[in-house]
Amino acid sequence: MTDYAEFHRRSLQDRDAFWAEQAKLIDWHKPFEQVCDYSRPPFAKWFVGGETNLCHNAVDRHLATRADQNALIYVSTETNQERIYSYRELHAEVQRMAATLQSLGVKKGDRVLVYMPMVPEAAFAMLACTRIGALHSVVFGGFASVSLATRIDDAEPTVIVSADAGSRGGKVVPYKPLLDEAIRLADHKPQKVLMVDRGLVAFDRVEGRDEDYASWRECHFKTEVPCEWVEATHPSYTLYTSGTTGKPKGVQRDTGGYAVALAASMEKIYLCKPGETFFSTSDIGWVVGHSYIIYAPLLGGCATIMYEGLPIRPDAAVWWSLVEKYKVTSMFSAPTAVRVLKKQDPAALKKHDLSSLRALFLAGEPLDEPTATWIAEALGKPIIDNYWQTETGWPILSLCNGVEAAKSKFGSPGKAVYGYDVKLLDEHSGEELKGAGQKGVVAIEGPLPPGCMQTVWRDDKRFVNTYWSSVPSRLVYSTFDWGIRDEDGYFFILGRTDDVINVAGHRLGTREIEESISSHPKVAEVAVVGVADNLKGQVAMAFAVLKDPSVIATEADALKLEGEVMKLVDEQLGAVARPARVRFVATLPKTRSGKLLRRAIQAVCEARDPGDLTTIEDPTALQQIRDLITPAA
């Protein structure tokens, strides 16, 4: 496995043998007859004829060897709680939840919507669903009623599992009123709502519909619920994309392929061995939470940390204190969280013993070089950027097999991961760009490897039309990201295809300009968008957040700094990339998963309607930009 190129080649050319070998990492109730059925492209079926169960592989399978080992470590700096569940205890809790769901009428193939904060019961609910062959649809806790209502109508859940409240920065966020309103708005009505009462806030109960989990748990304290063996292709869950580029898409995931892909990724990408501790700082509402808080670490026989709280509360060292305390070996976070830490004192990271940590993995957004360098120096550990999507469920680009880790190139999420036939295509002709340094659309030749989306939930047509029809005369999966590959096979993501800026005929990724601006020592983060311009077609506009906003006291200070930033871009990329304006703001508009909403900024700059904003974190961030560019008359 030292020669990664050969390993990757084999995963594609010897596809079935390669994946049959990986499939040994999980238990099969009935062996599969065919590794991959791609007779009806672009729909791929993995491990056809096989029967397995995700919850069995994540939980029950480990009881013989590691029943007393930590499975789920729950830490909340919001409620000051730490609860540890061994595999044996997790097994018991999941069965209590599974029995409850069954009592409330949930059957194989039914959907259960999970609208929960980061509490262990959310994990139990997810695992309980896959245990009984029901599909979970986790909706990020705290989403507004309207977005929740749309998801209720899409999933048509038999039961909704929820809680009284979440908590953020010490402030209680009541969920129940949002949920009640969402159910009122939705056409579909769930039979039951199962409430986990954390005791954070009082809530109203709807007679005959709302059930109390604590009493059901008592009632099923000793109930055993066997795993329901399902076809490898049986859907395990649906989950929405972040909604950065528009209306979120409902991704449908299978069972067998997902289990195999995640199990393999633990040893080949995330370098975490059975018995070790994995810490992903994501939320269960996102794909990273599904794959790398819940399923992959448990499939791998690891302990997983589920953290409720902010990265800087009680102080900026809180994550690193957990690394020390639980001897975390692999940690997974997002560039946006590192940028939050970057505004703090790097000494906080040095307070703790991080010797157990092998690497920090980051994904979700471009990892700019200054941020990568900052965290690498602060931690003294390898930083591994990986690139993927809700749709794929696990990395498309990364460094694999450990040996490659030493060879990371800052600014690049590495090479094509085994199983992925990644191509760069000319967006107009669909022609493959083979030369180093050519920019194109990042695409994946079918079949998508195990673990990737099966289809759009209840909408095969949308799956084909959205993902497989963008390149003329060719059936290929488009990521809608824009990238470049160097002579060593390392990819660089330059931004979304929607965000490419065309200045007087020059094509520029927003990422390139953002990278350059963020190398200015005073800049913490920045968003660049292309704005329509009569003369040049488009011009770049930049909105930057400063590490220390107090450096700008007057208009003149802002203009001076703007000039400095422009000069920097001129030097690094040339005058063609220079933004028309660089404005300074307190925060940038992001989705709740921490992604920059460039399309919304762009729409505001062009005085258009910003479109679907149901996933926005803080609407005032967009308002601030609106106020800046349309000064009061």
- Give the torsion sign (CA, 582, 584, 585, 586): positive
**301 or 335, CB closer to ligand ATP?**
335
Residue 480-499 contact track with ligand ATP, rule CB under 6 A, x = bound: -x-----------x--x---
Q: Measuring CA to CA, which residue among 9, 493, 45, 492 is closest to residue 234?
A: 45
Phi and psi torsions of 442, nearest 5°: -80, 120
Secondary element (H or E) of residue 324: helix 318-326
**Given 133, 248, 250, 289, the residue binding ligand ATP (CB under 6 A):** 248
Q: Which does 386 bind (CB under 5 to 8 A by kind): Mg ion, ligand ATP, none?
A: ligand ATP
The 3 state secondary structure assigned to 263-309 is: HHHHHHCCCCCCCCEEEECCCCCCHHHHHHHHHHHHHCCCEEEEEEC
Is residue 245 involved in binding ligand ATP (CB under 6 A)? yes
CA angle 3, 9, 13 (to 5 degrees): 145
387 touches ligand ATP (CB under 6 A): yes
Amino acid at 112: V
**Site membership for ligand ATP, residue 336 (CB under 6 A):** no
- Nearer residue to ligand ATP within complex by CB, 70 or 392: 392
Task: Pick one of 365, 421, 525, 562: the residue that binds ligand ATP (CB under 6 A).
Answer: 365
Interface segment toward ligand ATP; rule CB under 6 A; list 151-159, 319-327, 365-373, 428-436: 365-373
Residue 238: other Cβ atoms inside 10 A: 23
Decide: 221 and 93 in contact? Cβ < 8 Å.
no
Binding of ligand ATP by 243 (CB under 6 A)? yes
The burial of 487, by beta-carbon neighbours within 10 Å (0-12 exposed, 13-18 middle, 19 or more buried), is given as exposed
In three-state secondary structure terms, 633 is coil
Q: Restricting to residues 133-152, which ones interact with Mg ion according to CB under 5 A?
A: none
Chain-centroid distance of CA 406 in Å reads 25
How far, in whole angstroms, is CA 619 from its chain's centroid? 21
Which of residues 94 and 363 has its CB atom nearest to Mg ion in the complex? 363
Task: Name the residue with the smallest CB distance to Mg ion.
Answer: 241
The one among 61, 62, 66, 595 contacting ligand ATP by CB under 6 A: 595
Q: Which is nearer to Mg ion, 324 or 498 (CB)?
A: 498
Burial environment of residue 338 by CB neighbours within 10 A (0 to 12, 13 to 18, 19 or more)? buried
N-to-C CA span, the chain: 66
In sequence order, what E strands does 202-273 have? 210-212, 230-231, 237-240, 250-253
Number of H helices, E strands in the chain: 21, 32
Question: How far, in Å, CA of 469 to CA of 472, rounded?
Answer: 7
236-275 footprint of Mg ion as x/- string (CB under 5 A): -----x----------------------------------
Q: Closer to Mg ion at the Cβ: 241 or 408? A: 241
The correct pick among 78, 385, 512, 514 for binding ligand ATP (CB under 6 A) is 385
CB of 270 to ligand ATP, least distance (A): 14
- Work out how close the CB of 512 gets to ligand ATP at its nearest, in angstroms, rounded to a whole number: 12
Q: Which is nearer to ligand ATP, 52 or 336 (CB)?
A: 336
Q: Is 413 in the site for ligand ATP (CB under 6 A)?
A: yes
Of the candidate spans 128-136, 177-185, 193-201, 383-391, the one that interacts with ligand ATP by CB under 6 A turns out to be 383-391
Sign of CA dihedral 612, 620, 498, 269: negative
CB burial readout 530-543, b (16+ within 10 A) else e: bbeeeebebbbbbb
Total binding residues toward Mg ion, as defined by CB under 5 A: 1
Query: What is the nearest approach in angstroms of ligand ATP to the Cβ of residue 288?
Result: 8
SS3 assignment, position 126: helix
Q: Which residue, 243 or 449, has its beta carbon nearer to ligand ATP?
A: 243
Stretch that binds ligand ATP, among 114-122, 163-171, 238-246, 574-582 (CB under 6 A): 238-246
370 binds ligand ATP (CB under 6 A): no
Q: Is the peptide bond before 447 cis (omega within 30 degrees of 0)?
A: yes
Nearer to ligand ATP, 72 or 399 (CB): 399
Told to check if 281 binds ligand ATP by CB under 6 A, we report no
Q: Which is nearer to Mg ion, 46 or 388 (CB)?
A: 388
Q: For ligand ATP, which residue of 53, 147, 242, 455 counts as binding (CB under 6 A)?
A: 242
In the list ligand ATP, Mg ion, none, the entry touching 366 (Cβ below 5 to 8 angstroms by class) is ligand ATP
Report what 226 binds from Mg ion, ligand ATP, none; CB cut-off 5-8 Å by kind.
Answer: none
Our finding on whether 22 is near ligand ATP (CB under 6 A) is: no
Which residue's structure tokens are 């002709």? 429
244 is a site residue for ligand ATP (CB under 6 A):
yes
List contacts with Mg ion (CB under 5 A): 241
- Residues in contact with ligand ATP by CB under 6 A are 241-246, 248-249, 363-367, 385-390, 413, 479, 481, 493, 496, 593, 595
